[in-house]
Amino acid sequence: MKDPNNTRNTAPRRGSPLWIYFVVVILLGVTAGGAAFSRLTAADLDALVSTPVFWILGCFIVFGELRPIITPGSTENNGATTSTTFSFAALLYAGLPIAAALQVIAVITCGIFRGRAPHRIAFNAAQYTLSLAAAQLVLALFGDLATPSDLWVPHGADLPAIALAGAVYFACNDTLVGSAVALHARVSLVKALRTDLAYQVLVHLALLGLAPLMVVAMDRSALFVPLIVLPFIAVYMNASVSVRREHQALHDGLTGLPNRKLLIVRTEEALAAARGAERRRLARRKTADPPNHRAGLFLLDLDRFKEVNDTLGHPTGDRLLQLVAHRLTHSVRPGDLVARLGGDEFAVLLPSVRDEAAAREVAARLRAALSEPVRLDGMSFDLEASVGIALFPDHAPDFELLLQRADVAMYNAKEARTGVEIYSPRKDRNSPERLGMLGDLRRAIDRAELELFYQPKVSLRDGHLVGMEALLRWRHPDKGVLEPRAFLPIAEQTYLMRSITHHVVTAALAQTAAWWRDDLAVQVAVNASGRDLLDTGLAETIEEGLLARGLPAAALQLEITERILMNEPAYASDTVGALADLGIPLSLDDFGTGYSSLVRLKRLPVEEIKIDASFVHRLADSPDDAVIVRSIIDLVRTLGLRSVAEGVEDMATAQTLRDMGCDAAQGWYFSRPMDAKTATDWLRRHAQITVPNRVGLEPTA
């Protein structure tokens, strides 16, 4: 029989509908049981004590409660409880007081053994008592009432009465439990009853049908009772083996959570239910309103879990995963499903979710549960996870696409360090729109639509030029001039990034050489991604370009973002070493937005640190940002490097930065990004140009 509260072992909130329902059912059960026991006579009690068959029945009822027959597709909470056969047989043979007493003793014993909460034990005892009382009323209508001192053995003519009593017992029991499940899961009673109705009808038909045979056997001899139990034992053993095999096929061996196969089944069921509910709603309203019935799929990945495995070993990592599984399953709503897909990747299915805001609330609760410190092997761990959310039917029509788009959202959450992201076609590198742009970008390289703009970096001490940053632009034939953020995230995940980087380096070196030939010796900086630093051909391309144009290494500068320092392969790549050997200086871009290691920072061939524009923009309004900027400037000065502030748009900000000791700045206050021709004119209008002197070059007027 299904459990009225199978996902929690805590009492319902006092005053809630479920709490009120529990109290009412328990009181009714106590009343029914009290009324039945009050009818017992001294002769009945003597017969109860002296008849061994009642003791045998009691043992079998307890055993039936403790060891339900769980078949494939059922669980411990809705498996076949063989105590039904014995308690119903006790009702037929000796009446309600004996059947209810034996069943209540079994429920209490089982509840204590399994650590169930008192309210659950009391409800289950009342539920069985009321169901047996209802069956007793039916038998009373036919004049078939038994007592311990006046036992009743049915005949063939009594089968209709027994069948009706069994049907009433099942209907009462299923309705009592179904109502509790409906209140707990906040679904309709019809939906709660329909969940496994066919299974329950079939099971109870067999269990209740054996009860009259049990009575006949008991009346002949108590020794016949164990013979009837033997088939139950055989079925139990076979069912256990079958269930164990099914469980292994559908569950993860380490955590016991559902695996991908079971997740697919449950998700398809949830999507089918959502489709049906939506069709019924539209049929009633006959409108094309946005969907009200949604299902959600979360993909959750632990951050930096590999470090635990590498540092403490896989056994500790496995225990951590088991703890994560426990926390997740106890943090979801009733009816939600937690699955493990492999490694440190988990999925959470929400069969019903109101909207994106509700999905975010669930995801935030999951992350909060995981964020509590964990102690293993005498060490404390702080767990964090990135969660991607995809909703049906908003983002995908089926499981595979829903999982794929939840995966996209999860990686977006990792990249943006936001923790939780909902799928957005704009951020999906695999969406039709982005794939179309990828094709356009591939053709743009061939058609020379990619162009470099230049923005000066100016010394805050004397206004002299420090260098020029090359900024990539795409002159799209339909969309106009596009900035890098509109197309580079697509390219960074494909082979096109290598082609674009080589194009940028070649174009920047060509323009730098042209300026140097015109006595405008200026250092030009180009941006490099983490993928670029893993490209062993980049250093070779730069070296060949410098030699072909007769430029020193200091004429070119590579800007890398601070987050690249978090990536060990990029930091330790052969490309970085080769660039250092060439003498190519590095500039650390967007400083303050990542988590740099000062050791790594000191070891890299960095000549300048660029303070992220987000801090500079809030310099005048946020005291905290002012403190951060000043701290960065002091740190950079201590390391003997040059500090450059980005995003300077007014004179007041420039003056504040100068007072703080910042070396240089760039932004619209000095100049907007300019195409090559405009940048050349700008350079010629400035009389003094400061160039790098690390290779013996002198300032050029």
Confidence of residue 645 (pLDDT cuts 50, 70, 90): very high
Whether residue 8 is predicted with pLDDT greater than 80 in this model: the reply is no
Higher-confidence residue of 163 and 219: namely 163
528: which strand partners? 560
For the question of whether the overall pTM of this predicted structure is more than 0.75, the answer is: no
Residue with the bigger pLDDT between 696 and 170: it is 170
Q: How confident is the model at residue 307 (pLDDT cuts 50, 70, 90)?
A: low
Question: CA-to-CA distance for 605 and 459, rounded, in angstroms?
Answer: 21
pLDDT at 262 over 70: yes
Reduced to 3 states (helix: H, G, I; strand: E, B; else coil), residue 166 is helix
What average pLDDT does the segment 471-479 reach?
89
Taking the C-alpha atoms of residue 618 and residue 33, their distance in angstroms, rounded to an integer, is: 73
CA atoms within 13 A on the CB side of 150: 8
Beta strand extents in 510-612 (DSSP E only):
524-528, 556-561, 586-591, 606-611
Among residues 382, 356, 352, 10, which one has the least CA distance to residue 191? Answer: 352
Q: What pLDDT score was predicted for residue 595?
A: 46
pLDDT at 448: 83
Percent of the chain with pLDDT over 70: 80
| 412 vs 387: CA distance, rounded Å | 9
Above 60 in pLDDT, residue 688? no
Q: Which domains does the chain have, with CATH numbers?
A: 17-250 (1.10.1760.20), 260-427 (3.30.70.270), 433-685 (3.20.20.450)
pLDDT in tens, 515-565: 999 889 899 999 887 667 766 678 888 999 999 999 999 899 988 876 655
Q: How many CA atoms lie within 13 A of 384 on its CB side?
A: 11
Query: Which of 176-185, 235-244, 355-364, 384-393 shows the lowest per-residue confidence on average (mean pLDDT)?
Result: 235-244
Q: What is the pLDDT of residues 362-420, one digit of tens each?
A: 888 888 888 887 777 667 777 788 899 999 988 888 888 888 888 888 888 887 778 89
Residue 563: predicted pLDDT: 61
Average pLDDT over residues 155-167: 88
| Mean pLDDT score of the chain | 80
Q: How confident is the model at residue 94 (pLDDT cuts 50, 70, 90)?
A: confident
Residue indicated by tokens 């053994």 = 113
Give the span between the Cα atoms of 504 and 273, in whole angstroms: 53
What is each CA distance from 426 to 341, 411, 473, in whole angstroms? 26, 14, 20
> Residue 456: its pLDDT value, please?
94
Higher-scoring residue by pLDDT: 378, 639: 639
Instruction: Report d(CA 280, CA 276) in Å as an integer.
Output: 6
Q: Is the pLDDT of residue 212 over 80?
A: yes
